[in-house]
C-alpha cells in the first residue's frame, strides 16, 4: 500500500433517519465524552503521516455538518498538508456551511440525494427537507467545482428517479454515483436490491453508450462519461470484491479503526489517547494496523455490517 485513504466519522448523530441507514436494532448513541476531539483526530492523522502518505481524507458521520465547528477540523487537516479533504453530507446544513468550509480549505463535497420528489425524499429520510438541500447544493456550487451526488439504489423506489437525477446532475455539472444497497436499514436486500448493472443498461439503452473513465484513485466507483448529457457518473457495487485495491481505513467517532466496511474487526485507539498519553506506543499500534491492512485480503462477508452505519460513516 503506497498511500492511505482515511474516512473519519466525526459524529454518530444525524438529523435524518434514512430508512436504508438506520439499523434494525435500536441505536445506542456514543456518549459525548467518548467522541474523539478534533485535537485527538489531528494527532491520529499526524501519526499516520509518519508511517504512510495520506492521499485523501473524507469526513463523514452521522451527519458531519451537525458537529460544531467542523470547519476547524478541516483547517487542521489542511494544515497537515492533506491534499484532498472532502465531506459526505446529507446537505441539510450546506447553505449555512458551504462558504466557511471553502474558506477552511475543503476540497470536495459529496451530497446524498436519492430522489428529487419531495414526498419520497421525506418518506425516505424521515426528517429531511429537500428544498433546503437543493438550496444548499446551489450555494455550494458557488464555492466548489467538484460536487458529487450519492444515490443509493433501492428496488421499487429508484427506478422512477433515475432520469430526473441524471438530468439534475447534468444541468448542474455534478457527478452522480449510484451505490448498491447494503443490508443495514429497513430495506432488506432480498426485496430491495437493485444491481448497478440494471441501472447501467437502462442508461445505455436510453442515453447512449457509457464511455469508461479512469478509476478515481480513492474509491471503488467505476466511472463513466455520458456524452448525450455531458455527464460524469459512477457505479459503486457493494456485492463485488475489490479488496485487493482497497487502501481505505475508517476511523469511527469513538476512536476505533476499521479495516473494512464489511468486516467488524476494529482496533480501539482510545486507550492510547486518553490517560497516560504515549505517542510512541500509539505510533507503533498504528504501524501494526497498517501492516495488518496490507497483509490481509479481507473477504466480503455475507452478513455485511453488524455495526451502525452512522457510527462507521459509510
Ligand atoms: N449523513 C451523511 C450523508 O447522508 O451523506 C454521511 C453519512 S452516510 C452513512 C454516508 C453514505 O452512506 C451516504 O452516501 C449513504 O447514502 C450511504 N449509505 C447509508 N446506508 C446505506 C446502505 N444501506 N447501502 C448503501 N449505502 C448506504
Closest ligand 1 atom, residue 63 Cα: 1
User: In this predicted model, what pLDDT tens digit does every residue of 117-173 receive, in sequence order?
Assistant: 999 999 999 999 999 999 999 999 999 999 999 999 999 999 999 999 999 999 999
Tell me the pLDDT of the chain averaged across its residues. Answer: 91
| Nearby residues of 79 by Cβ (< 8 Å), 6 or more positions away | none
List of domains in the chain:
4-312 (3.20.20.70)
Looking from the CA of residue 313, the nearest atom of ligand 1 is 9
C-alpha 136 – ligand 1 centre gap (Å): 18
9 or 222: which carries more pLDDT confidence?
9
Which among 209, 213, 204, 148 has a CA at the least distance from the CA of 176? Answer: 148
Q: How high is the pLDDT of residue 296?
A: 63
**300: CB partners within 8 A, 6+ apart:** 239, 241, 243, 262
How many whole angstroms from 265 Cα to the centroid of ligand 1? 20
The yes-or-no verdict on residue 86 having pLDDT over 70 is yes
pLDDT at position 247? 87
Residue 177 pLDDT: 97
State yes or no: pLDDT of 176 exceeds 90. yes
Per-residue pLDDT at 295: 79
pLDDT digits (tens, 9 = 90+) for 44-78: 999 999 999 999 999 999 999 999 999 999 999 99
The least confident of 14-28, 73-87, 269-283, 285-299 is: 285-299
Residue 300 has pLDDT above 60, yes or no: no
pLDDT for res 241:
57
Query: What pLDDT score does 304 carry?
Result: 43
Residue 310 pLDDT exceeds 80: no
121 lines ligand 1 (CB under 6 A): no
pLDDT at 218: 58
pTM of the model: 0.93
Residue in the block written with cell 466525526: 10
Least confident of 54-68, 99-113, 238-252, 292-306: 292-306
**Residue for cell digits 492510547?**
272
Query: What percent of the chain lies above the pLDDT cut of 70?
Result: 90
**What band does 237 get if pLDDT is binned at 50, 70 and 90?**
confident
pLDDT > 90? residue 284: yes
Q: Are strands 85-89 and 54-60 parallel, antiparallel or unpaired?
A: parallel
User: How many CB atoms are closer than 10 A to CB 23?
Assistant: 16
Residue 142 has which C-alpha cell?
458557488
Please report the pLDDT score of residue 123 as a whole number. Answer: 96
Residue 308 Cα distances to 124, 125, 153, 179, 270, angstroms: 18, 16, 19, 18, 19
CA-proximal residue: ligand 1, atom 5 (nearest): 89
For the ranges 119-123, 240-244, 299-303, the lowest mean pLDDT is seen at 299-303
pLDDT digits (tens, 9 = 90+) for 87-106: 999 999 999 999 999 999 99
**Residue 125 Cβ contacting ligand 1 at under 6 Å:** no
pLDDT at 50: 98
Confidence band for 23, pLDDT divided at 50, 70 and 90: confident
Ligand 1 atom, smallest distance to 185 CA? 23
Amino acid at each position: 500500500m503506497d498511500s492511505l485513504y482515511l474516512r473519519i466519522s466525526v459524529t454518530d448523530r444525524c438529523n435524518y433517519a434514512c430508512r436504508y441507514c438506520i439499523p434494525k436494532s435500536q441505536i445506542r448513541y456514543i456518549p459525548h465524552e467518548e467522541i474523539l476531539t478534533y485535537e485527538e483526530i489531528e494527532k491520529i492523522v499526524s501519526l499516520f503521516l509518519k508511517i504512510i502518505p495520506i492521499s485523501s481524507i473524507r469526513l463523514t458521520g452521522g451527519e458531519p455538518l451537525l458537529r460544531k465547528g467542523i470547519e476547524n477540523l478541516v483547517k487542521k487537516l489542511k494544515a497537515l498538508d492533506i491534499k484532498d479533504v472532502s465531506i459526505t453530507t446529507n446537505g441539510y446544513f450546506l447553505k449555512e456551511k458551504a462558504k466557511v468550509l471553502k474558506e477552511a480549505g475543503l476540497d470536495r463535497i459529496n451530497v446524498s440525494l436519492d430522489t428529487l420528489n419531495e414526498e419520497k425524499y421525506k418518506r425516505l429520510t424521515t426528517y429531511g427537507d429537500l428544498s433546503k438541500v437543493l438550496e444548499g447544493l446551489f450555494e455550494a456550487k458557488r464555492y466548489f467545482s467538484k460536487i458529487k451526488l450519492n444515490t443509493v439504489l433501492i428496488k421499487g423506489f429508484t427506478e422512477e428517479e433515475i432520469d430526473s437525477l441524471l438530468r439534475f446532475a447534468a444541468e448542474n455539472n455534478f457527478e452522480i454515483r449510484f451505490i448498491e444497497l447494503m443490508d443495514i436499514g429497513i430495506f432488506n436486500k432480498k426485496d430491495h436490491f437493485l444491481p448497478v448493472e440494471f441501472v447501467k443498461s437502462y442508461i445505455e439503452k436510453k442515453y447512449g453508450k457509457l464511455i469508461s473513465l479512469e478509476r478515481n484513485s480513492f474509491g471503488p466507483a467505476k466511472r463513466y462519461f455520458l456524452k448525450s448529457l455531458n455527464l460524469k457518473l459512477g457505479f459503486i457495487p457493494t456485492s463485488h470484491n475489490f479488496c485487493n485495491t482497497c487502501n481505505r481505513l475508517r476511523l469511527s467517532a469513538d476512536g476505533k479503526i476499521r479495516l473494512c466496511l464489511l468486516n467488524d474487526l476494529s482496533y480501539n485507539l482510545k486507550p492510547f489517547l486518553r490517560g497516560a498519553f504515549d505517542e510512541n506506543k500509539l505510533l507503533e499500534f498504528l504501524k501494526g494496523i497498517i501492516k495488518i491492512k496490507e497483509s490481509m485480503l479481507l473477504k466480503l462477508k455475507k452478513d455485511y455490517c453488524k455495526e451502525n452505519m452512522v457510527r462507521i460513516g459509510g
